[in-house]
Structures are given as structure tokens and as C-alpha cells.
Amino acid sequence: MSFDSITPAQLRDVGSVKWSLFPGKTPAFVAEMDFGIAPPITQALHDAVDNGAFGYLPPATDLALREAFTGWAADRYDWQVDPDDVKQISDVIQAFQVAIEHFSEPGSAIVLPTPAYMPFLTVPAVMNRRIIQVPMLRTETGWEYDLDALDRAFADGGGMLILCNPHNPIGRVLRRDEMAAIGEVVERRGARVFSDEIHAPLVYADQRHVPYASVNEVNAGHTLTATSASKAFNLPGLKAAQVVLSNDADRKYWSDNARALHFEASNLGVVANTAAYTGGGAWLAEVLEYLDGNRRLLGELVAEHLPGVRYTAPEGTYLGWLDCSALELPGSPAEFFADSADVVPTDGALCGDGNAHAVRFNFATPRPIMEQAIRAMGEAVRAR
């Protein structure tokens, strides 16, 4: 596939949110990729449409997805999952709402390491839950969880930790020993973990994704895992995700409350996720190789055109976190770049307290587009 040859005009013709929301500007905000869809997914969707598969989710289609995911998990993550432990749901945010309502202590606070994915800061408030933000520690080489601060947050009434791995927006891929240490803190405080692993397939060759619940029995005993093929295969609009159970207590609760926890993902979303897990590997490998080049090139472009901006190449995802503190821009860097460079990143202020100086930049785009965007951002800073 020749990703470099994809043009802004072609992307605008597709009509995605990413390329239609801000006409005339280069979008780098919402987590959509610009590389099309894996052919096996497209074919599976055409077949489903031709068959008129628009009724309620058939048991056979449901089972095919659950078995496809367990095969993917075993091959990619060495995680042995029973298909009966895989539950259909529309998306990871719905899974997050279910985790709060059904799998955390009523009234307990949500512990959120920051910077964080934006809805993790808004959903708990809608559900009348307090959020305890725990800033991650920035080191010379990357980011680390602050275990002492997590412990204090649980002591302050925290009942559920949101663990995002690979992390959105900073791109960390957690090591097994890190997750074991986090699990010790959670278990000591009698808390729960909601593990968002939606970006799990998007891990670069120098890293490996390890599901949090697979680390040991302690972690499995307090975790609800949510994932989907949507980010890695560009399928968010099809509304299909998976909740993975990993302990007997949660299995019993889900079974005993089957009516309240009966969710059905979109038929076409289930078909697309199944095709991704069973036939999308070759396409994803090519995309990851291209993204690997993009994450490295982004560092070079930032150093050349935005000197002073702090960037650590992510270990997973296609999101770059750009700390613009040194630029001393007036107001929001995101607004400055949108107004002065016609480039629209995500405002870091939406990712938690103390992050208003940063932006999240989506680099899942053709390199000529990314180069033009960073160059324009640099020119805007110099012109100021």
C-alpha cells in the first residue's frame, strides 16, 4: 500500500469526522487513521450486507467473534481466554460505564492517572462519581506510574483505577513488573481495575503488549478488561467492543445479572471485528511499519521545526504527546496552532489538570501531510 500517495482531497471525500469537522485545516485530533480499511474486513462487510444481516445478533455470529478474539489474544499476547469470558458491548466507553455501575463500590471515587483519554474525565462526573487525578511521573526517558500517589488516592476513597495500556495519550506500553506492582497496591486497598486495552494491537516491534489481567492471579481477580479492533483497524463507527472477564466473582455477577448486562454490539461491527482478528494481521503489520516510521519522523520534525517542544516517541498507539511549555505561547497551544497554523491537535487541557501546555497529535496520516503540518506549526511559532 502506498500511504504516502493519499491526499487531503481524497480523505475529505471520505467524509470522516476527522477530515470534515474543520474545513480547510489539517486535522490531528480525533483518533482515526487515514489508511483505509483492511481488505478482509471490507469483503466481510460486503458479504454481510449482501446477506441482509441486519437483525438481532445471531448466536453463531456472536460465537465467531468470541472465538476470533480468543485466538488473537493467544497468538498476540499469549493470553489464554475462554470464549465464554468474552462479552459483546458497543464500545469501550459503554464498558467503562458498566464497570463503574456494576463492578465498583457505590459512591467510590475513580482513580485516574493523567494525562488521560478525555472521556475518562467526563463519564464519571455524569455518573455522580468523584475523580481523583493522579499525575504520572515524567522521567528523562518517559513516564511512570506514581505508586505512592495511587496508594494515597485509594486511601482517599478511590474504588476503581482506570488503567490505559497502551496509554492514550502518552503511548506507554507497560511492562509485566510494572503491572504487578500496580496490582499489589490495588489489591492491598481492596479496589478494582478497569483496563482499557483498545490500543493493544498498536504496539511497536521493540515492545510487547501484556494484558493486565494476564500478569498474575491477583490482577485477574480485580480486573475488568475492555478492548476492540476499532482503533487498530479504523472501525470506531461500527460500534463493537469486547469485555473480558477474568475471575469467578465477575463471571457469577455477569451471569446472575444477565438481563441488566445484556448488550448487543452492532452486527456489522461484530462481523468487522471478527474479520480483523482472523484476517487483518498482514494489513496491520504494514500499517504498524509505516506508523513506526511516522513516530520516529515526528521526533525529527519536532526537533527541527519546534525546538524546545518535548516529545517522547510512543511505544504504542499512533498518538504523540507534545509538551509545548517552552514555547510560552499565549493561551492554549491547541488553539494557537488551529488559528495560526491551520493544524488542529487535541487540547491537552482536556486530558487532565496541569496539561494545558500540551497537545495530543495524531500521526496516523500520510507523511507528506504530517511534514506539512509540523512545518506550518513551526512557521506559526516563528512568526509570533
Residues 25-57: pLDDT tens digits?
A: 999 999 999 999 999 999 999 999 999 999 999
In this structure, are residues 280 and 40 in contact, taking their beta carbons and an 8 Å threshold?
yes
Residues 132 and 111 sit within 8 Å (Cβ to Cβ): yes
Contacts of 8 (CB under 8 A, 6+ apart): 19, 26, 369
Alpha-carbon gap, residue 144 to 132, rounded angstroms? 17
pLDDT tens sequence across 272-292: 999 999 999 999 999 999 999
Reading across the β-sheet that carries 26-28, which strands appear in turn? 26-28, 343-347, 358-362, 319-323
Tell me how far apart the alpha carbons of residues 292 and 297 are, in angstroms, rounded to a whole number. Answer: 9
> Phi/psi at 60 (nearest 5 deg)?
-65, -40
Kindly provide the b/e burial profile for residues 286-315, where b requires at least 16 CB atoms within 10 angstroms of the residue's own CB: ebbebbeebbebbeebbeebbeebebbbbb
CA distance 108 to 194: 14
Alpha helix (H) residue ranges in the chain: 8-14, 17-20, 39-50, 59-77, 92-103, 119-126, 147-155, 176-188, 217-221, 248-256, 267-279, 281-305, 333-340, 367-383
- Report the pLDDT value the prediction gives residue 13, as an integer from 0 to 100: 96
State which residues of the chain have pLDDT below 70. Answer: none
Dihedral (Cα; 177, 93, 37, 201), 10-degree rounding: 10
Report the alpha-carbon distance of residue 136 to residue 144 in Å, rounded.
6
Residue pair 126/214 in contact by the 8 Å Cβ criterion: no
| HSE-up of residue 55 (Cα within 13 Å, Cβ side) | 6
Phi then psi dihedrals of residue 362, to 5 deg: -85, 115
| pLDDT at residue 140, rounded to an integer | 83
What pLDDT was estimated at residue 25?
98
Strand partners, 227: 242
* Calpha distance 352→206 (Å, rounded): 29
From residue 261, how far is each of 102, 103, 217 by CA, in Å? Answer: 9, 12, 25
φ/ψ of 87, rounded to 5, equals -115, 140
Instruction: Note the residue count of the chain.
Output: 384
Q: b or e along 144-171 (b: 16 or more beta carbons within 10 Å of the residue's beta carbon)?
A: ebeeebbbebbeeebbbbbbbbbbbbbb
User: Under a CB-based contact definition with an 8 Å cutoff, are residues 287 and 318 in contact?
Assistant: no
Question: Do strands 137-138 and 143-144 pair parallel, antiparallel, or not at all (unpaired)?
Answer: antiparallel
Amino acid at 141: T
